[in-house]
Amino acid sequence: MGAFCLQISFLILSHSASAPRHTGTKSKGMMMMQHYDIAVVGGGVAGLTAAIYAAKAGKQTIVIEKQERLGGRAVTNKKKGAYFNLGGHALYHGDALATFREWGLSLQGNQPSIDAYGIWKGKLLTLPMSVKSLLTTPLLSWRGKIELGSWLAKLGKMDTHRYDQISLREWIESQFYDPMVRNLFYSLLRTASYVAAPDMQAAGPVLKQLQNSLQGVLYLDRGWGTIIDELREIAIKNGVTMMTSTKAVAVEHRDGAVQHVRCEEGTLVEAKNIILTAPPAVAHQLVTNAEATSLHAWREQAIEITAACLDVALRRLPKPKQQFIYGIDQTVFLSNQSRAACLSDDGAQVISVIKYQGEEKNPDKDLHELEQTLDLVQPGWRDELVAKQYLPRITVYHDFLHMRRQQPGPAVPEISGLYVAGEWASHGELLVDAATASAKRAVQCILAREYTEGKPKDAYRRIV
Ligand SMILES: Cc1cc2nc3c(=O)[nH]c(=O)nc-3n(C[C@H](O)[C@H](O)[C@H](O)COP(=O)(O)OP(=O)(O)OC[C@H]3O[C@@H](n4cnc5c(N)ncnc54)[C@H](O)[C@@H]3O)c2cc1C
Residue 391 CA: nearest ligand 1 atom is 1
Atom of ligand 1 nearest to the CA of 94: 11
| 373 to 190, 218, 337, 367, 410: CA distances (angstroms) | 17, 24, 16, 10, 41
Question: Is pLDDT at 441 greater than 90 in this prediction?
Answer: yes
Task: Find the helix or strand (DSSP H, E) in which 369 lies.
Answer: helix 363-377
Using the mean position of ligand 1's atoms as its centre, give its distance from the Cα of residue 372 in Å.
Answer: 28
- Ligand 1 atom showing the smallest separation from residue 286 Cα: 41
- 26 alpha carbon to ligand 1 midpoint, in Å? 33
pLDDT at 65: 98
Ligand 1 atom showing the smallest separation from residue 70 Cα:
49
C-alpha 375/C-alpha 294 separation (Å) is 48
Query: Where does ligand 1 bind, in terms of residues with CB under 6 Å?
Result: 41-47, 64-67, 72-74, 86-87, 89-90, 92, 247-248, 277-278, 282, 307, 309, 394, 396, 422-423, 431-432, 435
Q: Which residues contact 449 (CB under 8 A, 6 or more apart)?
A: none
Q: Residue 44 Cα, ligand 1 centroid: separation in angstroms? A: 6
CA angle 294, 258, 44 (to 5 degrees): 75
Give the pLDDT mean for 155-170. Answer: 95
> What is the 401 CA–ligand 1 centroid distance (Å)?
16
Centre of ligand 1 to C-alpha 130, Å, is 33
The protein residue whose alpha carbon is closest to atom 6 in ligand 1 is 89
C-alpha count within 13 angstroms, C-beta hemisphere, residue 45: 25
47-74 mean pLDDT: 98
Residue 276, pLDDT above cutoff 60: yes
281 C-alpha vs ligand 1 centroid, how far in Å?
Answer: 14
Q: Closest ligand 1 atom to the C-alpha of 246?
A: 43
| 423 CA from centroid of ligand 1 (Å) | 7
Instruction: Tell me the per-residue pLDDT of 81-125, one tens digit each, with 9 for 90 and over.
Output: 999 999 999 999 999 999 999 999 999 999 999 999 999 999 999
Residue 15, pLDDT above cutoff 50: no
- pLDDT, one tens digit per residue, over 369-378 is 999 999 999 9
Residues 357-373 pLDDT 10s: 987 778 899 999 999 99
pLDDT in tens, 180-210: 999 999 999 999 999 999 999 999 999 999 9
With bands split at pLDDT 50, 70 and 90, how would you rate the model's confidence at 2?
very low
- Cα angle 50, 280, 20; round to 5: 35
